[in-house]
Chain A
Amino acid sequence: MSAGLLVVRPGLATTVQDGGRRGHRAQGVPTGGAFDRSSLALANALVGNPADAAGLEMTLLGGAFEATAPMAVALAGAPMEATIVERGVARPVRVPGSFHLAQGARLELGGTTSGARTYLAVRGGLQTNLVLGSRSSEERLTVGTFLPAPCTDGFSVRFLHSSVYTIDLLFAIMSGLDAIDESFWDRADLRVSARSDRMGIRLEGPVPSVSFESERRSVPVGPGAIQVTESGLIVLGVAGGTMGGYPIVGHVIAAELDRVGQARPGQGLCFVLVDREKARRLDQTRREDQRRLLSRVAAAVGDAGALALCGPAPRE
């Protein structure tokens, strides 16, 4: 059997994700990709991959995966119970961290203890089908799915001890095209609905009053747009449609979009309005923090990152 991961249990809503596909929104194709791109980037950095290499996005409940060849694997994002089972012996591993899976070893994952999405990266990246330049897929994994990936010998275990995972449920937003009474954001008691997915985070709670034109035409929309529907607010996710026919009353700013993907059903969340200058400053800060973290990880992975792959070279 060729090298890769065999899906023993798929988990709740596990999909293959990378940096997503660019340049096809005009054709109605969402960008897709990891909902929390910085966590995918961290998982990738832990095994010496480029930030956008394809890995697994696991939501709320991870799965169980068997390595058909020795390989280096990393987990990052929402903390999740994780155990490696090898020749009947189980040993727990921590998130974020990277470790070696021997041939036949299983990685068994439980639920997320906080946050919603955990990313699994494999050294060399998953080599599933490319469609329009990306391996991002909305098809959920099923039992028996085989995910090809290069095999790697001799990768040592590394945990990122200093990383503290906190979930802040205050999101900075900019106002949208449809004007509302801005004090709505201070008063609204909003909670993440269990019907949330990669297309959108649905919110339970009040909706602001907004004027609906009778013959409203759809407008192009993107991830982070906050739509008003009769059944509540929806924050569009990375797999959301490219056009929307509902009023848009806000946009989660780019710096905070990754964290939207970590909102758990039942959690309360708040929005605070910022202007464009503040949004750009926050984006700048986040980029610098991310760059510092990734270069620290790259330095730590160091020698391991230089190990030769024993399988076919990754195509990235």
Chain B
Amino acid sequence: MILHPLGDRAFLAVFFRESEAVAWASAVRERALPEVADVVVAYEKVAVFAGPDALDLDALEGALRSIRAIEGAPDASRLLVVPVLYDGEDLAFVAEALGLSIDDVIACHQATEYVVQAIGFLPGFPYAGALPDTLRGLARRASPRVRVPAGSVAIAGRQTCIYPRESPGGWHLLGRTPCSIVDLEAGHFACAVGDRLRFERIDRDASEAMRGRRLVALADAGTARDRVV
């Protein structure tokens, strides 16, 4: 691990692998150091922000340097199964650009298990990867849409994402989940960096039936049935 200063009250730890970063971040969180306000993972990096009242930043740095993570604890990664109605506006464009049929695009997208690599842009917006080779390489739209509907599932580059709420956006829309992945007022965030993510095709009736339900991740990969509460 290399620890860089991020200004005078934050640090950036850089690792070789994303899984190391995820494991170290949870080890830091487990220590519950009173000086730490936020621990943010993105890809192979982890930022640690000191709280406004923390005074001994050298002690904090020493503590961070001493933390070792045990990687790949088997129950560390949770699985989020996201039901999707694949009726996105860009399906036809994506299929043509990649030389696939629309059904192939959908089949490839839901056959892959992704890992949440970063969260940002909007509260609870997951950047997940990696897309299978067949779906890779589309640049973002030259001019982003002013309004992407809440729940939109989209792809760009090597990643896929879910828009937690309506917002502007430049990714290519494949479909929509009827479920809610973020509820700020209730403090609900469906996914965290390091979670595994799978998409499951549903039809219009199922989509209507699930509208507004809160999506929760499963600690155990096996029981996809109870994915919504």
Contact = CB atoms under 8 A, between A and B. Distances in A.
Interface of A: 19, 22-29, 31, 37, 129, 131-132, 174, 177, 217-222, 224-225, 241-243, 251-254, 276, 279-280, 283
B112 to A, nearest CB: 20
B184 to A, nearest CB: 6
A67 B43 CA distance: 50
Given A217-B118, A221-B47, A251-B7, 9 more contacts: A26-B40, A31-B37, A37-B52, A220-B47, A242-B119, A243-B120, A243-B121, A276-B8, A279-B7
Given A23-B37, A26-B38, A26-B41, A222 B8 contact: no
B8 A283 contact: yes
A131 B47 contact: no
B57 interface: yes
Nearest to B43: A217
A251 B8 contact: yes
B49 A131 contact: no
A256 to B, nearest CB: 10
B10 A26 contact: no
Contacts of A28: 119-125
B65 to A, nearest CB: 15
A279 B9 CA distance: 9
B99 interface: no
Interface string B39-73: 11111011101011000010000000000000000
A243 B38 contact: no
A177 B12 contact: yes
Contacts of B45: 219-220
Given A131-B184, A219-B47, A251 B119 contact: no
B177 to A, nearest CB: 18
Interface residues of B, number: 37
25 contacts: A22-B51, A25-B49, A26-B41, A26-B119, A26-B192, A26-B193, A27-B119, A28-B120, A28-B122, A28-B123, A28-B124, A131-B185, A174-B5, A218-B43, A219-B45, A220-B47, A220-B120, A225-B6, A241-B120, A243-B118, A243-B119, A251-B7, A251-B8, A276-B5, A283-B9
A280 B57 CA distance: 9
Contacts of A225: 6-7
Contacts of B9: 254, 283
Contacts of B122: 28
Interface of B: 4-10, 12, 37-43, 45-47, 49, 51-52, 57, 118-125, 127, 184-185, 187, 189, 192-193
A107 B184 CA distance: 33
Contacts of B57: 280
A191 B5 CA distance: 27
Contacts of B193: 26
Nearest to A25: B38
Contacts of B7: 174, 222, 224-225, 251-254, 279
B42 to A, nearest CB: 5
A220 B121 contact: no
A27 B43 contact: no
B121 A222 contact: no
Nearest to B41: A26
Contacts of B47: 25, 219-222
A281 B8 CA distance: 10
A87 to B, nearest CB: 41
B106 to A, nearest CB: 27
Contacts of B5: 174, 276
Contact of A219 (B8, B12, B39, B123): B12
Nearest to B5: A276
Contacts of A31: 37-38
Contacts of A29: 123, 184
A138 B49 CA distance: 22
B131 to A, nearest CB: 14
A312 to B, nearest CB: 22
B165 to A, nearest CB: 11
Contact of A254 (B8, B38, B39, B184): B8
B3 to A, nearest CB: 12
